[in-house]
């Protein structure tokens, strides 16, 4: 792993490219994904916190991008990383089309608890995934904290009819996750609970472990400040770990793959196959699964693709200003 002092703002801004890539399907309310790509001495880094994130939270994403571009990553212990397909909150009739974009994935993560939808929509979507992928596939659901404890217990009892690997962030708070684990045990519902937002958006990620609020932890490189930081948190948690992405281009995916490749153990497929949700990419070839896994290695960023997806001038300036504000907080 190369080591370089953190660069100054002028050096960072000189390395900035800003892209705007349309989504194939609305995801997390996003219809076009914007990202800053940084080219440094160690490679490429991505800075793409969602628009609603404040500067202190976004600064961790910049630290991760600078690590990728100026410092580099720990050595891998595996050559490829198994990944899951991701099914947004689409109608059941669209599930087969979505899954058709993923080569060889034997696990699917299905979005549930979407605002404006019902449990019936979730049941239909999960049933469609099971129908398309068959009985041997693994299915996990992700509620992004959208349920109360009672709603989660009810939903997971019904969804478990299709066999669930785990439920990711079914409730918003650590207290509710802990209460849900108790409720599921009392009702004989065998669905493990995974913590995502309670790890990556928390000032104290270890609280999940202390309060026995999760069976699995989900870590993301950018919100945790980089590969090295995420590795340390995963080790401290001591629970089975899944690496996930934050709707990244191949540049961000490469960092997630680097994290997954450096973990001592990797018992689950990782949520790193999200490039397929976008209508374009900055790398040729893209960091997408072949036979259900993504090979470890740097992205092959294509200058022509950077030009093709270049953001409008006003958005480029908006992102450059955001980089400057976040850099000042590091």
Distance separating alpha carbons of residues 201 and 203, to the nearest angstrom: 7
Q: What is the DSSP letter of 24?
A: E
Place of tokens 């129908």: 131
Q: Identify the three-state secondary structure at position 306.
A: helix
Q: Which tokens is 109 given?
A: 């993560």
Confirm whether 111 is a catalytic residue.
yes
Q: Identify the three-state secondary structure at position 167.
A: strand
Helices (H), 187-226: 197-200, 207-210
Distance separating alpha carbons of residues 270 and 256, to the nearest angstrom: 9
Instruction: Spell out the residues 6+ positions from residue 325 whose beta carbon is closer than 8 angstroms to its own.
Output: 55
User: What angle, 0 to 180 degrees and rounded to 10, lies between the N-to-C axes of helices 55-66 and 313-327?
Assistant: 90
10 Å CB burial of residue 31 (0-12, 13-18, 19+) is: exposed
Q: Which tokens is 276 given?
A: 């397929």
Q: What is the DSSP letter of 68?
A: I
Q: What is the DSSP letter of 175?
A: H
Q: Of the listed 130, 220, 322, 327, which one is catalytic?
A: 220
Q: Of the listed 33, 60, 109, 111, which one is catalytic?
A: 111
**Catalytic site residues?**
111, 220
């Amino acid at each position: 792993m190369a080591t370089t002092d953190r660069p100054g703002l002028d050096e960072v801004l000189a390395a900035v490219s800003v892209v705007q890539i349309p989504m194939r399907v609305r995801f997390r309310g996003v219809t076009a994904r914007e990202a800053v790509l940084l080219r440094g001495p160690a490679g490429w880094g991505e800075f793409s916190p969602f628009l609603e994130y404040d500067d202190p939270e976004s600064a961790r994403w910049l630290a991760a991008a600078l690590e990728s571009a100026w410092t580099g990553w720990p050595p891998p212990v595996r050559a490829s990383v198994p990944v899951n397909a991701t099914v947004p909150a689409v109608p059941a009739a669209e599930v087969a089309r979505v899954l058709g974009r993923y080569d060889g994935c034997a696990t699917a993560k299905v979005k549930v608890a979407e605002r404006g939808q019902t449990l019936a929509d979730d049941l239909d979507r999960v049933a469609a995934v099971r129908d398309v992928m068959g009985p041997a596939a693994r299915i996990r659901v992700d509620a992004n904290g959208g349920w109360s404890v009672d709603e989660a217990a009810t939903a997971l009892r019904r969804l478990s009819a299709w066999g669930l690997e785990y439920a990711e962030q079914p409730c918003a708070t650590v207290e509710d996750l802990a209460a849900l684990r108790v409720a599921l045990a009392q009702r004989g519902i065998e669905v493990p609970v995974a913590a995502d937002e309670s790890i990556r958006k928390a000032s104290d990620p270890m609280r999940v472990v202390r309060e026995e609020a999760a069976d699995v932890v989900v870590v993301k490189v950018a919100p945790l400040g980089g590969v090295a930081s995420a590795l340390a948190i995963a080790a401290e948690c001591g629970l089975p770990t899944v690496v996930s992405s934050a709707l990244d281009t191949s540049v961000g995916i490469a960092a997630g793959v680097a994290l997954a490749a450096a973990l001592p153990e990797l018992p689950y497929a990782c949520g790193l196959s999200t490039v397929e949700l976008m209508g374009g990419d900055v790398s040729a070839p893209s960091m997408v699964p072949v036979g259900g896994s993504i090979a470890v290695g740097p992205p092959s960023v294509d200058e022509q693709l950077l030009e093709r997806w270049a953001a409008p001038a006003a958005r480029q300036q908006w992102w450059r200003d955001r980089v400057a504000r976040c850099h000042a907080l590091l």
